[in-house]
Amino acid sequence: MTRSPATPLPPPKERRRLREAASLTHTQLAERAGVTRDTVRAWESGRTTPRGRKREAYARLLADLADLAEETAAQAEQTATQATESAEPAALPVPVVVTAGAAPAEPAAVLTKTADSLVLPAKPLRDTVPGTPPLTPAQTFDALYDFGAPALVRQTYLLTGRRDLARESVERAFQQAWERWPEVACDRDPVGWVRSLAYEYALSPWHRFRLRHRHPEAPPADPADRTLMNVLLRLPPPHRRTLVLYDGVGLDLPETAAETEASTPAAACRLMRAREALADRVPELADPEVLHRRLAELASAERLRAAGPTAVRLGSERRAKFLTRIAIAFTAALIGTTSLTLRTAPTHYEPPVSPGQPVRGVPPRTAPGPLSDTELELRQKLRDEAAAGPERLSPSPG
């Protein structure tokens, strides 16, 4: 995570002139620099200035464009001279941008390395460099890991202050990247994709419940480094992450805000408060350049070695197989439990029978007594009468 902040750059107007002289659009130049189109526009307008390794890459790219412009002008002058002598028109050469140490290629097929990004060619490498076989997914992953893992481990160490947790976070992030490699390989900034996962895993609050992380690790040997690390760890995690991304990695403020899932004003406020907290405890860190140099020294002072890419890929594959087997076993257990329930469950509802309980306080049941003679005569009379009531009395003469 080292950078050269003092790399000279031409004025903003000259940057735009060099790009237009090479017949490049903002998008094409952004692909070569590993940034967005809006970032290139901001650099050319002077609103922002590249920092860190992006500044170095942008400066080298502008130097290549300047050399190309001079070569094109010399060829054009030579062609004009020949045309004047022979009195025949000649066609001007078409400017082609070639990155340093690479063969001529199409704009989308240039392999560019910036501070924390590896832009893979849009077409197979065989089309970029004739006679070169295309890279396999494992080879491209290994190249990405070798390029970004060492710097990511040092950056994560600044976030956590723990060496083992920094290595574990980066390895876990690359394992997830290998599991979703088709998506990561097509991403504009694959190292940024991995860096976001590594930071999220490293700053997870669940690590405090792990037995291996309950005891603090040995602090840095240098007293100045120990003081700086203590001040960093006292910052809130969002402020610490913003400070590492902006002053350590060298991202622009919009990119820092996007990676921390915050707005640009919120990211600027976090950065200012983090710098103020550092300046209060360590006054010499008030200068951003000094702060960046001290962060780089602190991260480089520790021996932080990441595992090999092959071990990370194999670990990712074993983890994927283990999770797949767990999912299959859980699904089989769920299916078996459901089948057993359907097999043994009743087909209709049977209400339970309540147990009997004795009832107290009810009077005993008594039978009626014998009938008297008058009652017997009345019963016999009622049985003998045909009508429902007594017969009508009819008046007789007399």
How far is 262 from 270, CA to CA, in rounded Å? 10
The pTM assigned to this predicted structure is 0.56
CA nearest neighbour of 222 among 288, 163, 301, 275: 301
Sites in the chain below the pLDDT cut of 50: 1-5, 83, 86-129
How far is 94 from 370, CA to CA, in rounded Å? 137
- Cβ(171)–Cβ(306) below 8 Å: yes
Angle, nearest 10°, between helix axes 264-281 and 223-234? 140
pLDDT computed for residue 329 by the predictor: 95
pLDDT computed for residue 335 by the predictor: 95
pLDDT computed for residue 350 by the predictor: 81
- Domain residue spans in the chain? 1-108
Length of the chain: 398
How far is 256 from 250, CA to CA, in rounded Å? 9
Give residue 246's Cα distance to chain centre. Answer: 18
Out of 3.30.310, 3.40.50, 1.10.260, 1.10.150, the CATH code matching 1-108 is 1.10.260
Phi and psi of 119, rounded to 5°?
-85, 110
Neighbours of 45 (CB within 10 A): 12
pLDDT computed for residue 7 by the predictor: 74
